[in-house]
């Protein structure tokens, strides 16, 4: 049986003004994520989430089930040379993630439901088995801009997500179909991830910023309007 490394994950809603102040303070003590692509230090994330015909992943989230998992395929800055299949597991306020790179060809086969002729093992095999056994299908595209800061002790990662959009009925991450804004105006999603303990000087910075801790799920936000 696989053993996963679970991390703390705290989520908040924060105003744009408070987010900019916090970003400036964090930049003095934390490093920017290397994925930064745009002039403002952000990068674009697009994720295609999968769910079964009963929308189990969505309703488990809405019902607050303590242990749950979901699968997604994720790309960054519309780059088709780096496509990642991820399984995200959540247990209360702890999360773990398993991931593997897949080719554009495999991605296309998955999107078109042609999964029987894919040679694979590990996570990809598990995912394809679940597609067949549980009738997993594309559920929703979630897109947003992320600014990220990292700190080596306790592997701290602090991210700001803004301009959250949904693809609704478009399931191809590389198609230029319409995206619809679904985020709360004037707000960003702040996520704080760390291993054992959040270093005190970082915790003190976060405590000084007005925010509202919530069980924010970008997947659920986008899925709820569909």
Write the pLDDT tens digit of every residue in 190-205: 999 999 999 999 999 9
Q: How many CA atoms lie within 13 A of 115 on its CB side?
A: 18
Q: Say yes or no to pLDDT of 8 above 80.
A: yes
pLDDT given at position 1? 63
Give the Cα separation of 95 and 5 in Å (integer): 8
Instruction: Find how far residue 58's CA is from the centre of its chain.
Output: 14
pLDDT of 226 above 80 = no
- Domain layout of the chain by residue ranges: 7-224
Residue 119 pLDDT grade (very low, low, confident, very high; cuts 50, 70, 90) = confident
Fold observed for domain 7-224 = mRNA Triphosphatase Cet1; Chain A (3.20.100)
Residues 185, 15: Cα–Cα separation, whole Å: 9
pLDDT at res. 182: 86
Question: Whole-number mean pLDDT of the chain?
Answer: 91
State the pLDDT at residue 154: 96
Higher pLDDT, 35 or 141: 141
pLDDT by residue (tens digit) across 45-85? Answer: 999 999 999 999 999 988 888 899 999 999 999 999 999 99
Percent of the chain with pLDDT over 90: 72
Q: Looking at 103-226, which runs of residues are DSSP E strands?
A: 137-151, 156-166, 180-181, 187-194, 212-213
Q: Name the residue among 132, 142, 154 with its Cα closest to residue 182.
A: 142
The phi, psi pair for 144, rounded to 5°, reads -165, 165
**127-179 confidence digits (pLDDT tens):** 999 999 999 999 999 999 999 999 999 999 999 999 999 987 889 999 987 78
Buried/exposed code over 125-155 (b: 16+ C-beta within 10 A; e: otherwise):
ebbbebbeeeebebbbbbbbbbbbbbbeebe
């Amino acid at each position: 049986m696989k053993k996963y490394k679970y991390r703390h994950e705290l989520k908040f809603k924060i105003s744009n003004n408070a987010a900019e102040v916090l970003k400036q303070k964090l930049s003095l003590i934390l490093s920017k994520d290397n994925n930064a692509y745009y002039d403002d230090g952000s990068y674009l994330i697009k994720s295609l989430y999968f769910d079964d015909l009963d929308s189990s992943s969505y309703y488990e989230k809405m019902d607050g089930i303590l242990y749950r998992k979901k699968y997604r395929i994720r790309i960054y800055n519309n780059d088709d040379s780096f496509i990642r299949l991820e399984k995200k597991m959540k247990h209360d306020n702890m999360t773990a993630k398993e991931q593997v790179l897949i080719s554009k060809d495999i991605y296309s086969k998955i999107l078109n439901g042609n999964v029987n002729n894919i040679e694979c093992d590990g996570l990809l095999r598990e995912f394809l088995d679940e597609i067949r056994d549980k009738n997993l299908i594309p559920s929703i595209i979630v897109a947003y801009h992320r600014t990220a800061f990292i700190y080596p002790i306790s592997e701290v990662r602090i991210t700001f997500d803004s301009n959250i959009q949904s693809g609704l009925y478009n399931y191809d991450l590389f198609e230029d179909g319409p995206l619809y804004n679904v985020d709360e105006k004037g707000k960003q999603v702040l996520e704080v991830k760390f291993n054992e303990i959040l270093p005190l000087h970082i915790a003190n910075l976060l405590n000084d910023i007005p925010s509202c801790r919530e069980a924010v799920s970008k997947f659920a936000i986008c899925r709820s309007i569909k």
